[in-house]
């Protein structure tokens, strides 16, 4: 998401530091969901530049896509029952909502929206305080439930176990907790991995206790974007690359086991997985994913190996992006992503599914920071109403979708002066996408 959405209270100078040093070279709005939108390293921007010519996709690549598409229409796996609570389509709001900032008035406004759920974090992305016990979180949700019938998904940040990188100039990392280790706390020696896994477990326990389908997980390396590079991560930790890769996969396996223990049948909704970046780093002629992807790989392998009852969604922040230069561009991005994921969807056919994402803006005048640049900045859609066809395509392509509601697009989902216009546009897109005469949805999520 985007740094700017998450740290709007910081001085302008600090904001510039955050934005300039973030993102995984995906899309340029590198400000992850922390309105951070997309790391510049990962750069989850618009549409990842997948180097596949369109004519090529129409040929051999399109055959792969067709296979994935055919599989998507064969129904759900027999051995694992995905949560019925998600239904045939599900829409979530992600806008850096924090439990400390939520109240009944905001949630009452959100209750009027066409969303099914909102993601809320109880532990901040840069939090370093002792881990909150579920007993302190459940009363909050119980109180919120008096104001809304929408599902409230706990949101977890991997950043809790990522060490600071002073070179990136992020002022939020300048605390002893993050400065006491390098890269990721993969061996648990700093105690940060233990804290993260406790937060992960607590979120699952909370989701189960409050009756929501699962949790949201953000894998963005806000503290240290260089650590996405497996060679850099190994160097930071004074380990071999093979050791670092093994530990990343082991972390994913731990997350899977904890997930199955705390909430059998849960949905683990990752905002991105990075599988569309197989050549993120080429070392000695060998291609490597971003480091975060190996965590998901370890998690998926563990789920499959032990037949754990967990459902994993890859959110698309990196593989799809938030913005597109045209509706056709979005369609092509969906098809390219399907082709790239086809082997993985087959390998993890009873576990993995694709979700879609998009960001919205009021009008051109409201766009700033990352929304005013890249594919978002060059989009021909002048207003949120012009984005309805984009949402319609997205909703017909994926059963599960999330909208990144960023203030950098003038979208304030909990404010009565902003939300209604967006709610109306979203509702119209949903009505079009799910209308009986709209034909069979072109689902590529499985």
Q: What is the per-residue pLDDT for 255?
A: 98
Query: Could you tell me the pTM of the whole model?
Result: 0.85
Is residue 372 in a domain? Answer: no
Band the pLDDT of 45: cuts 50, 70, 90.
very low
Is residue 10 in a domain? Answer: yes
Please state, rounded to an integer, the average pLDDT across all residues of the chain: 85
- pLDDT tens digits, one per residue of 96-143: 999 999 999 999 999 999 999 999 999 999 999 999 998 999 999 999
Q: What is the per-residue pLDDT for 86?
A: 81
Put the strands of the sheet holding 214-218 in their side by side order.
352-354, 311-314, 267-270, 214-218, 151-157, 117-121, 90-98, 400-404, 356-359
Backbone angles phi, psi at 286, to 5 degrees: -110, 130
Please calculate the CA angle 300-89-37 and round it to the nearest 5 degrees. Answer: 65
C-alpha–C-alpha distance, residues 142 and 138, integer Å? 6
* Angle in degrees, 0-180, between the axes of helices 192-210 and 241-262, rounded to the nearest 10: 30
Q: Is the pLDDT of residue 12 over 70?
A: no
Neighbours of 325 (CB within 10 A): 18
- pLDDT tens digits, one per residue of 269-327: 999 999 999 999 999 899 999 999 999 999 999 999 999 999 999 999 999 999 999 99
- Domain span at residue 298 reads 3-357+391-401
Q: What is the per-residue pLDDT for 87?
A: 80
- pLDDT tens digits, one per residue of 265-285: 999 999 999 999 999 999 989
Is residue 371 in a domain? Answer: no
Total domains, the chain: 1
Q: Is the pLDDT of residue 13 over 50?
A: no
Is residue 160 in a domain? Answer: yes
Is residue 59 in a domain? Answer: yes
- pLDDT tens digits, one per residue of 332-380: 999 999 999 999 999 999 899 999 999 999 999 999 999 999 999 999 9
Is residue 444 in a domain? Answer: no
Is residue 77 in a domain? Answer: yes
Is residue 331 in a domain? Answer: yes
Identify any residues that bridge with 383 across adjacent strands, giving them in sequence order: 363
Q: What is the per-residue pLDDT for 270?
A: 98
Q: What is the CATH number of the domain that holds 293?
A: 3.20.20
């Amino acid at each position: 998401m985007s740094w700017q959405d998450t740290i709007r209270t910081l001085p302008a100078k600090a904001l510039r530091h955050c934005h300039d040093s973030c993102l995984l070279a995906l899309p340029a709005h590198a400000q992850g969901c922390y309105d951070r939108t997309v790391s510049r390293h990962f750069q989850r921007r618009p549409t990842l530049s997948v180097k596949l010519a369109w004519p090529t996709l129409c040929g051999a690549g399109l055959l792969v896509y067709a296979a994935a598409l055919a599989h998507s229409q064969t129904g759900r796996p027999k051995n694992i029952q995905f949560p019925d609570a998600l239904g045939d389509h599900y829409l979530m709001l992600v806008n850096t909502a924090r439990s400390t900032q939520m109240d009944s008035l905001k949630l009452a406004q959100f209750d009027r929206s066409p969303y099914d759920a909102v993601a809320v974090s109880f532990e901040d992305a840069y939090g370093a305080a002792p881990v909150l016990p579920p007993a302190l979180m459940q009363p909050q949700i119980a109180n919120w439930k008096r104001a809304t019938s929408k599902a409230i998904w706990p949101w977890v940040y991997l950043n809790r176990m990522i060490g600071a990188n002073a070179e990136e100039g992020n002022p939020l990392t300048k605390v002893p907790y993050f400065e006491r280790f390098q890269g990721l706390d993969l061996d648990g020696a700093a105690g940060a991995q233990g804290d993260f896994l406790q937060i992960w477990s607590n979120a699952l326990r909370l989701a189960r206790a409050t009756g929501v389908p699962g949790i949201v997980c953000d894998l963005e390396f806000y503290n240290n974007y260089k650590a996405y590079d497996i060679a850099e991560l190994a160097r930071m930790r004074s380990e071999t690359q093979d050791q670092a890769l093994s530990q990343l996969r082991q972390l994913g396996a731990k997350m899977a086991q904890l997930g199955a223990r705390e909430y059998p049948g849960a949905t683990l909704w990752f905002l991105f997985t990075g599988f569309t970046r197989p050549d993120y780093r080429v070392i000695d002629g060998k291609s490597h994913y971003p480091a975060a992807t190996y965590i998901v790989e370890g998690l998926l392998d563990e789920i499959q190996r032990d037949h754990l009852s967990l459902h994993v969604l890859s959110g698309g922040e990196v593989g799809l992006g938030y913005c597109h230069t045209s509706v056709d561009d979005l369609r092509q991005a969906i098809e390219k992503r399907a082709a790239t994921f086809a082997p993985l969807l087959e390998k993890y056919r009873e576990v993995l599914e694709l979700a879609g994402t998009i960001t919205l803006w009021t009008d051109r005048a409201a766009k700033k920071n990352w929304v005013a640049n890249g594919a978002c900045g060059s989009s021909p859609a002048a207003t949120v109403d012009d984005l309805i066809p984009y949402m319609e395509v997205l909703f017909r392509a994926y059963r599960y979708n999330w909208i990144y509601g960023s203030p950098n697009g003038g979208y304030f989902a909990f404010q009565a002066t902003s939300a209604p216009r967006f709610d109306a546009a979203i509702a119209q897109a949903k009505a079009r996408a799910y209308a009986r005469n709209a034909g069979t949805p072109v689902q590529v999520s499985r």
